[in-house]
Amino acid sequence: MRVNFTVNGRPQEADDVWEGESLLYVLRERLGLPGSKNACEQGECGSCTVRLDGVPVCSCLVAAGQVEGRDVVTVEGLADYARQRSCGTAAGTSLDEAKGWQAKGTDSQTGEGTELSPIQQAFIDAGAVQCGFCTPGLLVAADEMLERNPNPTDADIREALSGNLCRCTGYEKIMDAVRLAAARQSEGV
Amino acid sequence: MPSPKLSTTFEQGGTPTGAPTKITQGSKTKGGIGESTLRPDGTLKVTGEFAYSSDMWHEDMLWGQILRSTVAHAEIVSIDTSEALAMPGVYAVLTYDDLPTEVRHYGLEIRDTPVLAHGKVRHHGEPVALVAADHPETARRAAAKIKVEYKELPVVTDEASALAPDAVLVHENRTDHHIGHVPHPNIVHRQPIVRGDVAEARRRADVIVEGEYFFGMQDQAFLGPESGLAVPEEDGGVHLYIATQWLHSDLRQMAPVLGLPEDKVRMTLAGVGGAFGGREDLSMQIHACLLALRTGKPVKIVYNRFESFFGHVHRHPAKLYYEHGATKDGKLTHMKCRIVLDGGAYASASPAVVGNASSLSAGPYVIDNVDIEAYALYTNNPPCGAMRGFGAVQACFAYEAQMDKLAKKLGMDPVEFRRLNAMEQGTLMPTGQVVDSPAPVAELLRRVKAMPLPPERQWESSEGPDVRQLPGGLSNTTHGEGVVRGIGYAVGIKNVGFSEGFDDYSTAKVRMEVINGEPVATVHTAMAEVGQGGVTVHAQIARTELGVAQVTIHPADTQVGSAGSTSASRQTYVTGGAVKNACELVREKVLQIGRRKFGSYHPAWATAELLLEGGKVVTDGGEVLADLVDVLEDEAVEVEEEWRHRPTEPFDLRTGQGNGHVQYSFAAHRAVVEVDTELGLVKVIELACAQDVGKALNPLSVVGQIQGGTTQGLGIAVMEEIVVDPKTAKVKNPSFTDYLIPTILDTPTIPVDVLELADEHAPYGLRGVGEAPTLSSTPAVLAAIRNATGLELARTPVRPEHLTGTA
Amino acid sequence: MDFLRPASWEEALAAKAEHPTAVPIAGGTDVMVEINFDHRRPEYLLDLNRIGDLYEWEVGEESVRLGASVPYTQIMEHLRAELPGLALASHTVASPQIRNRGGVGGNLGTASPAGDAHPALLAAGAEVEVESAARGTRLIPIDAFYTGVKRNALQPDELIRAVHVKKADGPQQYSKVGTRNAMVIAVCAFGLALHPETRTVRTGIGSAAPTPVRAQAAEEFLNAALEEGGFWDKGKIITPSVAKQFAELCSAACNPIDDVRGTASYRRHAVGVMARRTLTWTWESYRGTRRATEGAA
């Protein structure tokens, strides 16, 4: 079957999709967007978290055919998504301010122009990335939580991220990263 | 003078999808060792661009599928692949009979593992046949059409069934180098250690405690499933993009089975989604290459989570029998123990696990009289091998329980009792080896105990109880009823690096040249970056040694010599040591060039100790002699060199004596738990850790390692266990639904106190970090639960049943 | 495999009538796991995501008509007052991502004894609205809905449209035991609702019998004990002996198995503990409300 939907703001078409394929498979294997990860394929780990019409879901549990005509944001589009959000918010962070989140001291060669969302930058700065396999899903989930709840308590963060397993970090640096992103966000506003 | 702009260029293995991805990451700081520089692969990982092994993609690639045994122990009567082969979209179906050479087994130490089952399967989930097809669903359907007829055999599942006089033999005709010294063919390896006079010491003991402990089978549960892409090459060879812990070990095992010389099997490290020991053995490497070579097309294999539980070895479950004695003033007199490890159907790393379990079975204590025995069984259970802290983890769980029992019997504080018996530099191990670098066991315990305790009843709020902070969490099982707090302590000892005489070396190739007017160092090793941050540290070492701001980390592959395994807490020590060594050699060559070009201009070239700093050659007094740009001009300096740590020696097979280990590492934990004593549910409130790391090359990464290792220890304490049916030897919970690992709501705050007492034998004085925190975390949690409940709790993980008498 | 995408409820019913083996998929949180792991290869998948009605709810006089696909997140956020037991149960479902997709219709369709919504529905009192193209709508009382392990009273041509849950007329509670503090399948679960209007108590037990069940003997005992002791009127504290006996009868209502998630013995024990605790919580809440009402009057 054929599936048409929007990914990270761009219309996409996937052809010859087997009806049993998940959104995750279509993203990874048909659309060249492997950022969403295939860690459990049973909704237990959150590594494949994407936003489906704005709502965080496990893309491994969405049948490909169910996304027809819908809007998906993956980790690959997270920086753009965050930038647009900050531009669109009346009292929000300006584009220039958003750029202020750039890696300190970056003097990239080929990485030039890699703009990151605040949560992405905070994950790097706080040491929340080790193997990084859980990272895309955590970023999408954490970004959405900060959108809803800009000043989360620790318990709020833990609840919001309880569907995202990490095996490397023991979560402490992930907590640090989300706190850091929240703090920078509130300073920026 | 403005500080130089720093950057690390991180290159990933040229993926078949496109050009190598490069990214640069910088820091305001000088970026040498001791600083918390950021990961060079961080940006790629947060944007989703980092290419993990399962992300590999190639035009026209096929999907490989493995058919695995549905029973644990059986004769294979017949295999019929005709229906599968006839399916449209299927390109190949392979069984044992299709293997290209006479070498059809592989193994880390003992080549006992069939590439595909031949005549017999020895455990549930053993690979029997391979399929390559144009879509994963086609491959699955085809695999389902392969007809395998099994004739089931009785299963060996425990010590009793393995060692009975008429026991079924898991491997009938063993010829490996351990068979000569094991008392039964179902024992892979046995290591006794005897020292002192236990009988005499036993008579001196005022108190004696005994214990029988059980440690469950833990899974590494790395998040990135086994996967890789094999691409056939024009010269008849194959190029494998793979997530592994040790490229060259894979290569050594793969090439003979593929019937290819090693130079025709090229390996590039793809992104690795965690490892923890589970990628030390081969998984789909040979299978993908066989299919690629057979079909002439690129073949990708990606395990799903179910298959991953069968696709790698687990942590050995263990039964541990201990006896300790002490005088009434609290001094340990002796220890006797027997540790029985279940190695499952194939040897994997069992011999090394036995070596660790036996040699570290006394813990970080002074015990002059010991009688130790450890062995690993062959059974029809899932094969077990390396996992973070292997061998030492199981022992620590038991000896720390014993320490608490002794302290209780003596009426002593458990921490004071441990401190009284703590080893220190100069202590003799049970193996007779002198601990010849700092062993601050008492200090670690003191520090962890001195940390402030978390406040009581943190779950209370003005709006009522916050269930997220109570046992049971979101499931709303208690609002404080039945909740009792407990505190427990533990400390452990782990060896660093490969032991027992293994030639444990690493190789680094370092190049220095001027690019765009700046001196740049390139570091090329075959080290598997599995998340630990080796790539960060290598750049730091190059900056420290070569005084450059720009460092490029070359993709890890087999075009450079072996780096050894990313395991045993060894990579920063050994490959870090190799990078340091290669940098030093490069520096020497650079200085030679400098002397040649500029020696006559300044006497310091001949007389002073010279350093490379800030892109310049300087004297140890700080005087600038030349710019590196001027020294090198268009010359490139490159060195590839192997580096070894001090040699170790095997343990004597009868007495266990020998300088078997190169370094020890130590961590201590204090666990604070709250237990719902009625429902048997546990919430770990805090897991404080103190660890000596010798020298923290990257403090942020060091703390991350300690917290991660601590959490894996928490998992085995309260939830993680692969359950194997004792009647059928089949795995009952191969999924993330029923094999539970800690969520962020199960994981407490983990304050870390890092000590840096240099080991003079190690590069920069560093000490391997990764494993020690996984040892003491589990027994500390268990001790805290015992403290809260008053129960004995001799097995881990503790399930609610064990706390409520409903097991 | 065929993927059917009805755009309306009527089209969905027609498709189900034409292909009775079609497997409805809404949140996908059960069906996709089975497909991903090759446990199931349905001939047809019937996608219900495009049917907007299923995502809506109406709060009526007596009950809430809850569309089959209303995600658990919405129930937690918007129906806490009307359906407190179900809202609590919703909060225990898996993870935020799953709660954003899954709804009660899926729990009912799968009818696993471990479904988190069942005990809350049993305790509150509910009817399942099902429909077929041939025979139209019927309401199945929740007590008659679960017919066996992963079996329900649905006919092959029927689809679940909504569930009508009685609005709470008193405090409700829900507890679930799992061996992890989040994202866990129930080892066992317990729902309890006080119905001051009828002076009755209803219960629901999950994962401790082949189907979700009520502890009817326990309910009868408690109803009688509360009535006889004049507890409802006087707002007395539940005596420990009453709570204990209620808990024991709830345990006795279980018919659990030993499995990898827990032993039968533990399940019985835990259901008793949860029964006692949820009774205490709801009753204390009832007493508090009563006092507040009296204080205001």
Instruction: Kindly report the three-state secondary structure assignment for every residue of B454-505.
Output: CCCCCCCCCCCCCHHHCCCHHHCCCCCCCEEEEEEEEEEEEEECCCCCCCCE
Q: What pLDDT is recorded for position A108?
A: 30
Task: Say whether both A83 and A65 belong to one domain.
Answer: no
Question: Which chain A residues are Cβ-neighbours of B274 within 8 angstroms?
Answer: 130-131, 133, 167-168
Q: What pLDDT is recorded for position B17?
A: 65
Question: Which chain A residues are Cβ-neighbours of C1 within 8 angstroms?
Answer: 18-20
| Subunit contact B718:C179, Cβ cutoff 8 A | yes
Tokens of B362: 């006394």
Q: Is the pLDDT of residue B268 over 50?
A: yes
- Please name the residues in contact with C216: beta carbons below 8 A apart, sequence gap of 6 or more: C253
The arithmetic mean of pLDDT across residues A141-156, rounded, is 97
What residues does each domain of chain C span? 175-296
Write out pLDDT tens, residues B557-596. Answer: 999 999 999 999 999 999 999 999 999 999 999 999 999 9
How far is A189 from chain B, CA to nearest CA, in Å? 24
Domains B62-153+225-272+279-311 and B432-499+658-804 share a fold: no
Neighbours of chain B (3+ CB pairs under 8 A): A, C
Write out pLDDT tens, residues B116-125. Answer: 999 999 999 9
Residue to mutate among A61, A147, A158, A162, with most C CBs inside 10 A, is A61
- Give the three-class secondary structure for B612: strand
Task: Say whether both A60 and A86 belong to one domain.
Answer: no
Task: Say whether both A30 and A69 belong to one domain.
Answer: yes
Helix B285-295 and helix B247-258, axial crossing angle in degrees, nearest 10: 40
How far is C85 from chain B, CA to nearest CA, in Å? 11
Write out pLDDT tens, residues B527-554. Answer: 999 999 999 999 999 999 999 999 999 9
| Subunit contact C179:B476, Cβ cutoff 8 A | no
Write out pLDDT tens, residues B142-177. Answer: 999 999 999 999 999 999 999 999 999 999 999 999
Residue B13 pLDDT class (50, 70, 90 cuts): confident
Beta strands in C144-216 (DSSP E): 146-148, 151-152, 159-166, 172-177, 188-195, 200-206
Interfacial B residues in 266-325 facing A (CB < 8 Å): 271-276, 302, 304-305
Interfacial B residues in 130-149 facing C (CB < 8 Å): 140, 144
How far is A157 from chain C, CA to nearest CA, in Å? 12
With an 8 Å Cβ cutoff, the interface of chain C facing chain A consists of 1-3, 5, 25, 27-29, 31-33, 35-37, 41, 45, 47, 49, 94-98, 100-101, 181-183
Task: Say whether both A93 and A129 belong to one domain.
Answer: yes
Residue B18 pLDDT class (50, 70, 90 cuts): very low
Q: Would you give per-residue pLDDT tens digits along chain C (297 residues)?
A: 999 999 999 999 999 999 999 999 999 999 999 999 999 999 999 999 999 999 999 999 999 999 999 999 999 999 999 999 999 999 999 999 999 999 999 999 999 999 999 999 999 999 999 999 999 999 999 999 999 999 999 999 999 999 999 999 999 999 999 999 999 999 999 999 999 999 999 999 999 999 999 999 999 999 999 999 999 999 999 999 999 999 999 999 999 999 999 999 999 999 999 999 999 999 999 999 888 877 654
- Give the three-class secondary structure for A182: helix
Q: What is d(CA B786, CA A95) in angstroms, rounded to the nearest whole number?
A: 55
- Report the DSSP beta bridge partners of residue C203: C192
Tokens of C133: 């193209």
The arithmetic mean of pLDDT across residues B647-657, rounded, is 98
- Please name the residues in contact with B329: beta carbons below 8 A apart, sequence gap of 6 or more: none
Q: What is d(CA B807, CA B796) in angstroms, rounded to the nearest whole number?
A: 13
Superfamily of C175-296 according to CATH: CO dehydrogenase flavoprotein, C-terminal domain (3.30.390.50)
Q: What is d(CA A76, CA C51) in angstroms, rounded to the nearest whole number?
A: 30
Closest CA to B795 of B268, B379, B223, B394: B394
| Subunit contact B475:C181, Cβ cutoff 8 A | yes
Label the pairing between strands C44-47 and C2-4: parallel
CB B216 within 8 A of CB B312: no
Interfacial B residues in 544-573 facing A (CB < 8 Å): none
Closest CA to B364 of B426, B418, B434, B437: B418
Q: What is d(CA B165, CA B355) in angstroms, rounded to the nearest whole number?
A: 26
Interfacial B residues in 508-537 facing A (CB < 8 Å): 530-533
Last residue of a domain, one of A40, A73, A106: A73
Question: Which chain A residues are Cβ-neighbours of B220 within 8 angstroms?
Answer: 167
Give, rounded to a whole angstrom, the gap between the first and last alpha carbons of chain C: 64
Q: What pLDDT is recorded for position B768?
A: 98
Question: Which chain A residues are Cβ-neighbours of B45 within 8 angstroms?
Answer: 129, 132, 135
The arithmetic mean of pLDDT across residues B742-767, rounded, is 98
Structural domain range at position A159: 78-188
- Compute how many other C-beta atoms are within 10 angstroms of the C-beta atom of residue C245: 16
CB B586 within 8 A of CB B512: yes
- Compute how many other C-beta atoms are within 10 angstroms of the C-beta atom of residue B57: 18
Q: What is d(CA C256, CA C276) in angstroms, rounded to the nearest whole number?
A: 19
Q: Residue A98's domain is classified under what CATH number?
A: 1.10.150.120
Cβ-nearest to C37 among B306, B473, B738: B306
Q: Is the pLDDT of residue B22 over 50?
A: no
Q: Is the pLDDT of residue B201 over 70?
A: yes
Tokens of B734: 């191969």
Give this complex's ipTM: 0.97
Q: What is d(CA A87, CA B205) in angstroms, rounded to the nearest whole number?
A: 75
| Residue of chain B with shortest Cα separation from C96 | B474
Question: Which chain B residues are Cβ-neighbours of C187 within 8 angstroms?
Answer: 800
How far is C43 from chain A, CA to nearest CA, in Å? 10
How far is C37 from chain A, CA to nearest CA, in Å? 8
CB B569 within 8 A of CB B759: no
Question: Which chain C residues are Cβ-neighbours of B471 within 8 angstroms?
Answer: 181
Task: Say whether both A68 and A89 belong to one domain.
Answer: no
| Subunit contact C277:B478, Cβ cutoff 8 A | yes
Q: Is the pLDDT of residue A90 over 50?
A: no
Interfacial C residues in 24-83 facing B (CB < 8 Å): 36-38
How far is B168 from chain C, CA to nearest CA, in Å? 28
Task: Say whether both A93 and A35 belong to one domain.
Answer: no
Cβ-nearest to A61 among C2, C29, C47: C29
| Subunit contact A169:B708, Cβ cutoff 8 A | yes
Write out pLDDT tens, residues B380-430. Answer: 999 999 999 999 999 999 999 999 999 999 999 999 999 999 999 999 999
Residue C59 CA, chain-centre distance (Å), reads: 18
Q: What pLDDT is recorded for position B29?
A: 35
- Compute how many other C-beta atoms are within 10 angstroms of the C-beta atom of residue C229: 14
Q: What pLDDT is recorded for position A114?
A: 77
| Subunit contact C177:B800, Cβ cutoff 8 A | yes
Question: Which chain C residues are Cβ-neighbours of B144 within 8 angstroms?
Answer: 38
Write out pLDDT tens, residues C206-244. Answer: 999 999 999 999 999 999 999 999 999 999 999 999 999
Q: Is the pLDDT of residue A97 over 80?
A: no
- Compute how many other C-beta atoms are within 10 angstroms of the C-beta atom of residue B14: 16
| Subunit contact A111:B49, Cβ cutoff 8 A | no
Exposure string (b/e) for B146-171, b if CB count within 10 Å is 16 or more? bebebeebebbbbbebbbeeebbebb
Does the domain formed by B7-51+505-644 have CATH 3.30.365.10? yes
Q: Residue A12's domain is classified under what CATH number?
A: 3.10.20.30
| Residue of chain C with shortest Cα separation from A60 | C32
Task: Say whether both A68 and A96 belong to one domain.
Answer: no
Residue B626 pLDDT class (50, 70, 90 cuts): very high
Fold of B432-499+658-804: Aldehyde Oxidoreductase; domain 4 (3.30.365)
| Subunit contact A46:C45, Cβ cutoff 8 A | no
CB A85 within 8 A of CB A147: yes
Q: What pLDDT is recorded for position B582?
A: 98
Fold of B62-153+225-272+279-311: Aldehyde Oxidoreductase; domain 3 (3.90.1170)
The arithmetic mean of pLDDT across residues B624-651, rounded, is 97
Q: What pLDDT is recorded for position B37?
A: 95
Question: Which chain C residues are Cβ-neighbours of A61 within 8 angstroms?
Answer: 27-29, 32-33, 98, 101
Residue C288 contacts B, CB cutoff 8 Å? no
Q: Residue A32 carries which DSSP code?
A: S
Write out pLDDT tens, residues C274-286. Answer: 999 999 999 999 9
Last residue of a domain, one of A15, A49, A73: A73
Amino acid of residue B730: K
Q: Is the pLDDT of residue B323 over 60?
A: yes
Task: Say whether both A86 and A169 belong to one domain.
Answer: yes
How far is C118 from chain B, CA to nearest CA, in Å? 15
Q: Is the pLDDT of residue B599 over 70?
A: yes
Task: Say whether both A116 and A149 belong to one domain.
Answer: yes
Question: Which chain B residues are Cβ-neighbours of C247 within 8 angstroms?
Answer: none
In DSSP notation, B127-176 reads: EEEEEEESSHHHHHHHHHH-EEEEEE-PPP-SHHHHHSTTPPPSSSS--S
Task: Say whether both A170 and A89 belong to one domain.
Answer: yes
Question: Which chain C residues are Cβ-neighbours of B681 within 8 angstroms?
Answer: 177, 179
Beta strands in B628-762 (DSSP E): 637-644, 663-676, 681-692, 752-755
> Which phi and psi angles does C96 have, rounded to 5°?
-55, -40
Neighbours of chain C (3+ CB pairs under 8 A): A, B
Last residue of a domain, one of A73, A89, A115: A73
How far is B133 from chain C, CA to nearest CA, in Å? 16
Task: Say whether both A138 and A159 belong to one domain.
Answer: yes
Considering only residues A23 and B16, tell me which one the structure prediction assigns the higher pLDDT. A23
How far is A23 from chain B, CA to nearest CA, in Å? 15
| Subunit contact B223:A35, Cβ cutoff 8 A | no
What residues does each domain of chain B span? 7-51+505-644, 62-153+225-272+279-311, 432-499+658-804
